[in-house]
Structure 1
Amino acid sequence: MAESSELCEAAKNGDLAKLRALATAGADVSHFDHDGLTPLMHASKRGDAEAIRLLLHFGAPWNALSPAGLSAGDFAMESGHQDALETLIDAGIRAELVLGSVARRNPPGEPEEKYLEERVLFSEDRIMDSESKAVMMAWERPLMEAHARAICGGWDGGRFLNIGFGMGLVDSAIQRYSPSSHTIVEAHPDVYKRMIESGWGEKENVKILFGRWQDVLPQLESYDGIFFDTYGEYYEDQKEFHQFLPRLLNRGGIYSYFNGFCGSNAFFHVVYCQLVSLELGNLGYSTQYVPLPVKDCLPEEIWEGVRQKYWQLDTYYLPVCQASDDSD
């Protein structure tokens, strides 16, 4: 324990030689000191990229959180230490590619199956699941309108696909672009029933497919714009969907998705933005993130009655994904 405490002090003081000696001797690199900080957090606050690389080499957890809910990456971001930040982002991406430890807490599929089997509650400004978690909320309307503009704005009478109806915010926005074809996939029976009762099934240019996207995939065609926003799935599920983009998205088309990964932690969110960009890049797509300020959309009273705040950041980064110029 004493050696572990000394490790924190060495990181705090920038004593690289002592840090290396203690880590080599087996001191616990994941130790939290009396301030609730790990050696990696101390090194990140100082912007000591060399110490960060050393600690990561000895197994320091990149995603450990302080009592205030801050990671080493958050401390590097707050202090403006770019080299330290990039080192931690790289470590996070490499770890998530192997483990997926932040955005995936349970085996893929199980949470969604549970959600689809239970009732949801509708009100004017939200949809709630059986555990009082918000499925979708009205504060997202400006974001959904921006997503619709991103995937529809470059087309006159285009063909569009939305995976996940929710409150219908993005689909209502898509309709304003007079699409020639508008396909909606919705898996929850209560949401589907509400769609039908609201007249969505009577719109001439709308095709509704009831079921999980995995199950209705054979019925999907090709589209000029695609939006993806499911509830109860993890990144592994969305990554699986990405494998079908080359078949589903027309040349020059735009793909976007609700970018809610790690919406309560700024650093983890950055890691996932870069992770998705990397993985889509491997499929031949370039991704740009358009920053949208959302702080004014989220007064504290919005979350009254909601068990968990799924978004706590001041800026939302809207993804715009398109086939790279050099892709086939």
Structure 2
Amino acid sequence: MEGKEASTQEEVKEASMQDEELCKATREGDCGKVKELIESGADVTYFDSDGFTPLMHAAKQGHCEVVECLLNTGAPWNALNPSGSCAGDFAMEAGHQDTFDLLLNAGLQAELVLGRIAIREKGNCSSDYLEQRVLYSEDRLMDEEGKGVMMAWEKPLMEAHARAVCGGGEGGHILNVGFGMGLVDTAIQKYKPASHTIIEAHPDVYARMQATGWGDKHNVKIIFGRWQDVLPQLESYDGIFFDTYGEYYEDMKEFHQYLPKLLKGEGIYSFFNGLCADNAFFHVVYCQLVALELANIGYATQFIPLPVKDCLEEKTWEGIRRKYWQLDTYYLPVCQASSE
């Protein structure tokens, strides 16, 4: 038995040395050596003592051919080091555009084929959100688990969304899905819409809307319920904004299937872009993914960069269980029917 154990330990040690050699070869950009080691059984999913995979090393150095080789042999494009960075982050930070493009394409292909969709909304939402109590304070709306549903720092973003879906002008017919703190709806009202329809599914939020006079506004129509259940009550609109909580990317994707019926020909659609907002590279992947999926139903999407770093201080998140936004730039989506 002792001989067997010693033999096993030697094999483990030898495999570890081989994996370390693979990391060294990827750092140096030695594609021939990389292929040789992989054929010999080196592990492309290996994490070295610094928490780096071979793909991370190659991406950081911009070794495009090595990156392609690793991806083709099953290296995970979305593996994270202990600091929460992936190979795409390292390529992006170092300005290696060709390597970045390779990794971006790998991410898109994986998500399109396998459909491993991340939670869209503000992070790890409870599926029974509508049955929870919510808590309003001056600068935030939280669920009963202490997660942020909406916060005051989003106000400039919501004003930009309102300007987009209202086309910068007055008199349109506007639909908003998800009231929250009413930030986007308050901004929409400044454009004096001919009609302003708001769908809200949470009973506490709906009660607050009524208590604060939203039901008394002459141009506002409140529809209480899940958007999936109230579709027959909807008309067609010049502008639509979508920002629900407690739903997944697949729910938003389902909503997009109704855009051709809900959005007028020259209308503008936008949504809260919280896609993978804790990782810069994943965020880019999912922005491209949603743009591709909207293109498939006839909509062209552009993303307008809005700096948000100055809006966020450490104290912003005091009392919030999880930061649902960790990036310096917000990419505001503006979607319209494609002219092609």
Q: TM class by shorter-chain length? A: over 0.9
1:302-313 equivalences in 2 (<5 Å): 302-313=316-327
- Quick one: distance in 1 between partners of 2:143 and 2:21? 47
Cα displacement (A) at 1:22: 1.5
- Corresponding residue for 1:20? 35
| Alpha-carbon displacement from aligned partner over 1:83-140 (angstroms, at most 9, x marks no partner) | 00010011111111233435149xxxx9564111111111010011121110000000
1:94: which partner in 2? 109
8 Å CA contact 1:52, 1:84 repeated in 2: yes
CA–CA separation in structure 2 for the residues paired with 1:132 and 1:164:
19
Q: How many Å separate the matches in 2 of 1:310 and 1:104?
A: 11
Structure 1 residues 217 and 112: CA distance shift in structure 2, 3 A: farther
1:160 aligns with 2:178: no
**Cα 1:104–1:59, aligned 2, differ >3 Å: closer, same or farther?**
farther
- Aligned partner of 1:176 in structure 2 is 190
Matched-pair contact (CA < 8 Å) for 2:158–2:187:
yes
The aligned counterpart of 1:64 is 79
- TM-align CA RMSD: 1.4
2:117 is aligned with 1:127: no
CA distance in 2, matches of 1:187, 1:97: 30
Give, in whole Å, the separation in 2 of the partners of 1:324 and 1:47. 35
- 2: CA distance between counterparts of 1:103 and 1:139? 23
SS in 1 for 2:335: strand
1:185 counterpart residue number: 199
Distance 2:318 2:303 in 1: 30
Q: TM-score, normalised by structure 1?
A: 0.95
SS at match of 1:310: coil
- Is 1:301 the counterpart of 2:304? The answer is no
Cα contact 2:127–2:247 (8 A) shared by 1: no
Structure index of larger Rg: 2
Could you say what secondary structure the match of 1:194 adopts?
Answer: helix
Give the structure 1 partner of residue 220 of structure 2: 206
Q: Which residue of 1 aligns with 2:282?
A: 268
The CA distance in 1 between the partners of 2:307 and 2:295, in whole Å, is 26
TM-score by length of 2: 0.92
CA contact (8 A) 1:155 1:224 kept: no
Map Cα deviations across residues 286-307 of structure 1 (whole Å, 9 max, x no partner). 1111110110000110000111
CA distance in 1, matches of 2:59, 2:339: 38
The 5 A counterparts of 1:135-150 are 135-150=149-164
Please state whether the residue corresponding to 2:192 is helix, strand or coil: coil
Shift in Å at residue 18 of structure 1?
A: 1.1
Structure 2 distance, partners of 1:161, 1:112, is: 25
- Segments of 5+ residues of structure 2 without an aligned counterpart are 1-15
| Equivalent position of 2:248 in the other structure | 234
> Which amino acid is 2:37 matched to?
L
How much has 1:153 moved relative to structure 2?
A: 2.7
Are residues 1:54 and 2:64 paired?
A: no
SS at match of 2:105: helix
Partners of 2:74 and 2:262 lie apart in 1 by 41
Cα offsets for 1:226-272 (capped at 9, x unmatched): 00001111111111110100000001110000001111111010111
Contact 1:102/1:262 (CA < 8 Å) preserved in 2? Answer: no
> Do the aligned partners of residues 37 and 113 (structure 1) sit closer, same or farther apart at CA in structure 2, a change above 3 Å counting?
closer
* Aligned sequence identity (%): 69
- In structure 1, what is the equivalent of residue 22 of structure 2? 7
